[in-house]
Homo-oligomer: A and B are copies of this chain.
Amino acid sequence: MSDIIYLDHAATTPVRPEVLEAMLPYFSQHYGNPSSLHSLGRATGKALRAAREQMAEVLGCAPGEIVVTSSGTEADNLALRGVALARRQRGEGQHIVVSAVEHKGILDTACHLRDHFGFELTVLPVDATGRVSPDDLGAAMRPDTAIVSIMAANNEVGTLQPLRALSAVCRERGVPFHSDAVQASGTLSLRVDELGVDLLSLGGHKLYGPKGVGLLYVRRGTPLLPQITGGSQEGKRRASTENVPYIVGLATALMLSQAERQTESVRLTAMRERLIDGVLASIPDAYLTGHRTERLANHASFVARGIEAEGMLIGLDLGGICASSGSACTSGAQEPSHVLTAMGVPRVDAVGHLRLSLGHSNSEADVARVLEVLPPLVSRLRAMSPFANT
């Protein structure tokens, strides 16, 4: 395993040792149900409260404004469904606005609310770099707009959205603004007041925490209809016995990643730049996707014309390099990515999309290795490809 060069940190990250260590006592030793009155229950209840305070400190919010969920996707669902349904009940709207490049957790949920629950939906276009224009958002807003959801950073092309300008448009009109920051959580500031968001989704496994835990920040006073009902956990906004080890793990991961954020961003950006420059210089007929500068520190993505991504991924994998073609859902069907399509990337190019996402485990040597392996691989694939000679 140690010989593998992992360049798929946008898909998932390993649990870092400090996080695993923090979680371990809560599986078999401090295992009480936090709702129990006895000593074992009180001990885990105390651990939960401490974890919630740590998370709130990172976000700059009150502990009660955090709803722990089982994933970033669940947080996205709770934000969109919870606010849309609650506001409609109050007669405050039935119109939803999202961008065309959202993660499927938002895009499919918005369509689900339209198709099954009678909401109206506006999907905002993006420019060639994947950015939403605040003017377009302003023009799309209606008196009955219930919620706007625009991601902080795109998972496939790494583009950062102008969040403050977008949230200002919503703030002016008093419409709740949600942002899916799952992909951004390792490298951006997560202070909710700086971002201007009313709701924010995060996921543990993109920041060296476990898969199966996430959180939704919900600004006090935001109407929210719970989506999982039963017990009174999470301030009656999300029932289920708390997943104590993972909540402790998420808090630990968040604190560590935010503490290291600035130094790690500098390190990753330098590697990213060498990777981008190196690929563009050594592979003819390749171009960067997403924004050149307004992109995640760890994210490089390309189109190599004339070949399919699958060949590159298999070739890299055989060379011990783990990469992806845009999202972790590329296997099977050859549908072109909705993100690239929205950005105007031609279908014939979109099938040749490659994403290289850096992280803790990577060093300059890994970048050098990719630049050694990838160009000849692309040449070989082009020589074999039916799409070549374009």
Contacts and interface: CB of A to CB of B under 8 A. Distances in A.
Contact of A313 (B32, B37, B239, B240): B37
A325 B38 CA distance: 11
Contact of A211 (B227, B231, B242): B242
A239 B36 CA distance: 31
B225 A116 contact: yes
A228 interface: yes
A17 B230 CA distance: 30
Contact of A230 (B40, B77, B245): B77
Contact of A105 (B15, B41, B231, B316): B231
A331 to B, nearest CB: 5
In the complex this chain forms, how many copies of it are found?
2
Residues of A in contact with B, size category:
35 or more
5 contacts: A8-B33, A14-B28, A27-B210, A104-B229, A211-B245
Interface of A is mostly: loop
A245 B24 CA distance: 13
Given A108-B230, A210-B243, A29 B8 contact: no
A315 to B, nearest CB: 11
A11 B27 contact: no
- A33, A38, A105, A227: residue with the most chain B Cβ atoms closer than 10 Å: A38
A15 B27 contact: yes
A70 B105 contact: no
A205 interface: yes
A187 B145 CA distance: 51
Interface in A119-177: none
